[in-house]
Amino acid sequence: MTESAGGTPWIGPLDLFRIGLGPSSSHTVGPMVAAADFAARLPAGIERISAHLYGSLALTGRGHATDTALLLGLTGAQPDTLDPDDAAVILATIQRRRRLTLPSGEEVLLDPAADIVFHPRETLPLHSNGLSFTATGRGDPVGRAYYSIGGGFVLDEAGGPLDAAARAEAPVPHPFGDAAELLRRAEDAGLTIAELVRRNESVAHPGRDLSAGLARIWSAMRACVARGLAGEGELPGGLRVRRRAAALLRRLEVQGAANDPDLLGAMDWVNLWALAVNEENAAGGRVVTAPTNGAAGIIPAVLHYYDRFVPGASPAGVETFLLAASAIGAIIKRNASISGAEMGCQGEVGSACAMAAGGLAAALGGSNAQVENAAEIGLEHNLGLTCDPVGGLVQVPCIERNAIAAVKAINACRLALHGDGTHRVSLDQAVATMRQTGRDMSYKYKETSLGGLAVNVVAC
């Protein structure tokens, strides 16, 4: 991440919103990126590779497809470009032959059953989502550790961002470390939050076409919704959870044709869009981490609400939404975490709800204070939310939780816009509370499937 003028790492919208494969940004996308990095660094003459998963990655890795993500990454696949249909073919070949082809073209031995080792009772020093690789061959063994810290972000074994060398070094003109500083700098510069983010991003990444990048993100979100609305049948994994989005769409279309006067009809559509995304995510489809895969349905659902139900909605409004939402997400990531393995689901769904609420408030013309207030309401009312996926799968309660939080984000925005931006609890105080709550939260409620619904609901 680029260092700002004040030494604060710059996290921009195209850092937070990444296109990848389901079902998890921390357990699928991040490990695939780490594996690809390890494979790209290997010298010639490697004959065998093994991988080791620790902590939350070991406890829920099978349900989150961590093991298969590692295999794909070692072949050089990247989550933003790999076709899910191609992935199935690659994995079947590796399973059958018990060897894989590195990006260099060399073949190495890797028996998934023997060479991917889960260590559920162990953690690596820097994060509960730790993983390591070992490669052996004609020379000395090569080993390297990584940390998948949520949202597709990966740290190397020293704790540095994996892609730091590829990032620009230019300082941004309006750095901010928290919401108070963001509001102060925006006021001093006479900018909206979205305008401030745009100016920072254009300096941090001068060669990057921000509008084109945001349009690509929005297009990927719409494509994910469309795929989710077309999906039928049961989701993979053994829970026998049936997709509901397609049937709900048919019902809503019939109601629309009958001119159903239901005043809460918009809520049904928001539920629909969130369900569609997270069912697609659970099926291993292409989603946008927003800011994580487990919470990937909230921002697309609220953006679809804006696009369909708000008079005067425009592409410029979509950009404003995403720019403002990214500022909220950056504040949360910097001062707490968006990782379910660190914060519980308050860090994933809570963060996405805050981002969606603030983004919608900005798109609707809210003041900077109202945007901050909307984000605070969205986060405050997800505090304490646990991450307890049944069967280690991103299905129950994850899919419905996105629908509930998307509706909550819209309500948070409306509450904020009915006020003048003044409020008792600040976003910074809510973020600090989330961080403290996450630290106090039992390990079994933080993406380990050792507590909560995961042990009180029979998985099969």
pLDDT in tens, 266-279: 999 999 999 999 99
At 31 the pLDDT is: 97
**Phi, psi (5° rounding) for residue 3?**
-80, 130
* pLDDT-based confidence at residue 162 (cuts at 50, 70, 90): confident
Q: Is residue 333 helix, strand or coil?
A: helix
pLDDT above 60 for 184: yes
DSSP state letters, 55-124? THHHHHTTTTTHHHHHHHHHTT--TTT--HHHHHHHHHHHHHHSEEE-TTS-EEE--HHHHEEEETT---
At 6 the pLDDT is: 44
Residue 197: name the closest of 174, 171, 170, 168 by CA. 174
Q: What residue ranges do the domains of the chain occupy?
A: 25-166, 179-204+209-456
More confident residue, 174 or 168: 174
Q: How far apart are CA 365 and CA 379, in angstroms?
A: 21
Which of 29-38, 99-108, 165-174, 441-450 is least confident?
Answer: 165-174
At 261 the pLDDT is: 76
pLDDT above 50 for 298: yes
More confident residue, 98 or 205: 98
Q: What is the mean pLDDT of residues 324-333?
A: 98
Domain 179-204+209-456 listed as CATH 1.10.4100:
yes
At 168 the pLDDT is: 47
At 9 the pLDDT is: 77
At 164 the pLDDT is: 55
Q: How far apart are CA 279 and CA 446, in angstroms?
A: 22
pLDDT above 50 for 182: yes
pLDDT above 80 for 391: yes
At 158 the pLDDT is: 92
pLDDT above 80 for 150: yes
pLDDT above 60 for 305: yes
* pLDDT-based confidence at residue 8 (cuts at 50, 70, 90): low
At 266 the pLDDT is: 95
**Phi, psi (5° rounding) for residue 20?**
-155, -170
At 15 the pLDDT is: 92
Architecture of domain 25-166: 2-Layer Sandwich (3.30)
Computed over every residue of the chain, the mean pLDDT equals 94
* pLDDT-based confidence at residue 360 (cuts at 50, 70, 90): very high
At 207 the pLDDT is: 79
Residue 64: name the closest of 389, 459, 405 by CA. 389
pLDDT above 60 for 166: no
Counting residues of the chain whose pLDDT is more than 90, the rounded percentage is: 91
Residue 371: name the closest of 184, 197, 183, 200 by CA. 183
At 460 the pLDDT is: 58
Q: What is the mean pLDDT of residues 190-215?
A: 94
Which of 192-196, 246-250, 262-266 is least confident?
Answer: 262-266
* pLDDT-based confidence at residue 395 (cuts at 50, 70, 90): very high
Residue 376 Cα to chain centre, angstroms: 19
* pLDDT-based confidence at residue 170 (cuts at 50, 70, 90): low
